[in-house]
């Protein structure tokens, strides 16, 4: 009997790796999608270590046709996708709103919204036909408030939340569980530990493995009690919204 398939778009070494490890450990095979095979290396290793089949498919989130094509190839190769996790994100670039370039604004919109839509569009028809499936959009507190210092990131995440809610309202009744995941925290990954230095201990950063566990538990929710938006933060986090 074939295993269910989890596709992760943006399967990097932080949360992407943790998600691959968690779903592989729960009996899923993995379709790992990023621009380069090297970008998915940690997720690939974690999946294989948990006895999963893991295949890499190349796509660039700024080019929606490649995202849709990669997920189509994954389904053709591995079978229907049961869980889609869109984990790609734009750069966290500081600037004043009037300093935003048209190019940067278009890029963030393509990564956060158009790429996410392309991913959902690639898997939703099959999920609707089978009346099952979960779609997760990895997001942030920026989806709830604008920013005078990081307007590009906020604009992208606002759009992602709007997309997630719209898809939920349209297709939840068809049996597809669509979830906007707000990470109100910094992840405990090397780049963040280096940035904070000794100022923050392990309890001040969110463990990627613990965050992946929350994705999994949300996937398991019965359809009569779905969460379509969840927020995640460590117990030490100062709430920002």
Instruction: Give 53-82 pLDDT, tens digit per residue.
Output: 999 999 999 999 999 999 999 999 999 999
Spatial distance between the Cα atoms of 83 and 97, rounded to a whole number of angstroms = 36
What pLDDT score was predicted for residue 92? 81
pLDDT at 240 over 70: no
Domains, the chain: 5-232 (3.40.50.720)
Calpha distance 175→134 (Å, rounded) = 9
Please give the pLDDT value at position 185: 79
pLDDT in the model for residue 178: 98
Does residue 1 have a pLDDT over 70?
no
pTM over 0.85: yes
Percentage of the chain lying above the pLDDT 90 cut: 73
| DSSP track, the chain | -PPPEEEEES--TTHHHHHHHHHHHTT-EEEEEESSTGGGHHHHHHHHHTT--EEEEE--TT-HHHHHHHHHHHHHHH--EEEEEE----------GGG--HHHHHHHHIIIIIHHHHHHHHHHHHHHHHT--EEEEEEEGGGTS--SS-HHHHHHHHHHHHHHHHHHHHHGGGT-EEEEEEE-S-B-SHHHHHHHGGGS-GGGSB-HHHHHHHHHHHHT--GGG--SEEEE--TTPPP--
Span 138-164, average pLDDT: 94
- pLDDT at site 205: 82
pLDDT value of position 193: 73
pLDDT for 15-39, tens place per residue?
999 999 999 999 999 999 999 888 8
| Lateral strand order in the sheet of 54-58 | 54-58, 29-34, 5-9, 81-86, 134-140, 177-183, 229-232
How large is the average pLDDT for residues 171-194? 87
Closest by CA to 50, choosing from 82, 18, 9, 78, is 18
Mean pLDDT for all residues in the chain: 92
Residue 238 banded pLDDT, cuts 50, 70, 90 = confident
Q: Please say whether the beta carbons of 152 and 108 come within 8 A.
A: yes
């Amino acid at each position: 009997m074939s295993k269910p398939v989890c596709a992760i778009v943006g399967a990097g070494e932080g949360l992407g790796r943790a998600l691959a490890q968690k779903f592989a450990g729960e009996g899923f095979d993995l379709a790992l999608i990023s621009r380069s095979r090297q970008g998915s290396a940690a997720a690939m290793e974690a999946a294989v270590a948990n006895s999963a089949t893991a295949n890499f498919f190349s796509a660039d989130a700024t080019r929606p046709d490649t995202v849709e094509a990669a997920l189509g190839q994954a389904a053709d190769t591995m079978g229907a996708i049961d869980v889609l996790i869109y984990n790609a994100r734009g750069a966290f670039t500081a600037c004043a709103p009037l300093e935003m370039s048209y190019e940067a604004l278009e890029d963030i919109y393509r990564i956060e919204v158009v790429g996410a839509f392309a991913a959902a569009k690639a898997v939703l028809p099959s999920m609707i036909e089978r009346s099952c499936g979960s779609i997760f959009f990895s997001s942030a507190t920026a989806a709830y408030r604008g920013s005078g210092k990081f307007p590009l990131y906020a604009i992208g995440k606002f759009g992602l939340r709007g997309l997630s809610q719209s898809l939920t309202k349209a297709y939840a009744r068809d049996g597809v569980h669509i979830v906007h995941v707000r990470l109100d925290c910094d992840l405990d990954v090397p780049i963040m530990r280096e940035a904070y230095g000794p100022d923050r201990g392990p309890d001040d950063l969110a463990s990627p493995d613990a965050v992946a566990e929350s994705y999994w538990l949300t996937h398991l929710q019965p359809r009569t009690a779905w969460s379509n938006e969840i927020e995640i933060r460590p117990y030490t986090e100062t709430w920002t919204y």
